[in-house]
Amino acid sequence: MKKTVRKIVKVKKTAAKPATKELVRRRVKKLVRKKLVKKKVRKKKADSRGGQPLPDLETAIERFLRYLEVERNSSDLTTKSYREDLEGLVEYLHELYEKRLPQPSEITTLDLRGYVAALHDAEYQRTTIARRMASLRSFFKFGMREEWVTMNPATALRNPRVTRSLPFFLSTTELGTLLQTPPESDGMGLRDRAILEVMYSSGVRVSELVGLNIGDYDKEQGLVRVRGKGKKERMAPIGSFAAEALKTWFRHRRKLLALPYARFKKDGPNTALFLNKFAGRFDVRNIHRMIGKYIKIAGLDTRTSPHTLRHSFATHLLDSGADIRSIQELLGHANIVTTQIYTHVSTATLREVYEKSHPRAQ
């Protein structure tokens, strides 16, 4: 009986061996198949990137800028700023790596710290350095998404401490002087007066002003459609003085468009609101040059810039009792923290509030 049991067990053991071998063989086959699938996926990924899974630094920058334009819907000025910031890095690394550009994956935190130190040595403003560091973080974050790099070397960088200065603004008297400076005797003077009035009346940025088209201005409602940062649109009010200045400018504007050398051949909703002497779109550089000229004529503080009109717009609204949330909407700020810098009010206003409110002020 015992011999029979032993024989049965022996038979069972011998029968189990080939079954185990077959199982192992199947598992090996499965693993091999998985590896082949992974290789195919990797190959597909490489093919989808044009056969360049790890692009060189300049190509990577171009793809990042394209991503900003297409996916993030960034404005031309934002894209231009990112380009300038990253081109500075390219120049530095070109010298550091002895006239060759490293791959994005080769760039280390130590390299980036050296770049930041070079910016400090070149006496760049802290705000500029902080912006360039932010550009680096965004670029390498995109690189991680695209699998060019395994980690973001810019995350370890510490931003310089930026002291936030109060915005410079003009008093209502000074602004009145500036607005009256452009001559009314010629067409270009009428245009300049209209530009200054619109900037102060609506608080628009210079880049927003030059982007205005004739179709953006609603005369009936006294509003203008503004395309701000990130191509966000908002409606900005136009005061009566600005509306009158625009009405006067439009008479001369029609004469400009009738000239044989006019760049805009016909007037339409997409024709620029403000034209240069060749009946083309007035650009940012022209605005800076024009305002600089009138600042000298009016004898105003040399710190005055086109953005000063925006600062003055916000400050005067706040001094007159407007709430911070409304000012945020009018300025087109995404975050109210940006608007809160205007909560500085003039000393005279503070004194007046103090004397009216405090029981022992007088």
DSSP three-state, residue 147: coil
> CA–CA separation, 150 vs 141, rounded Å?
10
Helix residue spans in the chain (DSSP H)? 2-48, 57-70, 76-96, 109-121, 126-145, 172-180, 187-202, 206-210, 240-257, 284-298, 306-319, 324-331, 336-339, 347-357
Catalytic residue among 63, 94, 252, 307: 307
> CA–CA separation, 222 vs 204, rounded Å?
15
Catalytic residue among 132, 281, 310, 311: 310
- Do the beta carbons of residue 98 and residue 52 sit within 8 Å? no
252 is catalytic: no
205 is catalytic: yes
316 is catalytic: no
Amino acid sitting at position 279: A
Q: Quickly list DSSP for 193-209.
A: HHHHHHHHHH---HHHH
The closest of 112, 123, 95 to 159, measured between CA atoms, is: 112
Q: Give the residue carrying structure tokens 């080769």.
A: 106
Q: Residue 154: which residues within 8 A CB-CB, separation 6 or more?
A: 109, 112, 133, 136, 137, 139, 140
Backbone angles phi, psi at 227, to 5 degrees: -100, 105
Catalytic residue among 191, 193, 205, 316: 205
Catalytic residue among 72, 229, 252, 263: 229
217 is catalytic: no
Query: How many angstroms separate the most distant Cα atoms in the chain?
Result: 129
The residues carrying an active-site annotation are: 205, 229, 307, 310, 333, 342
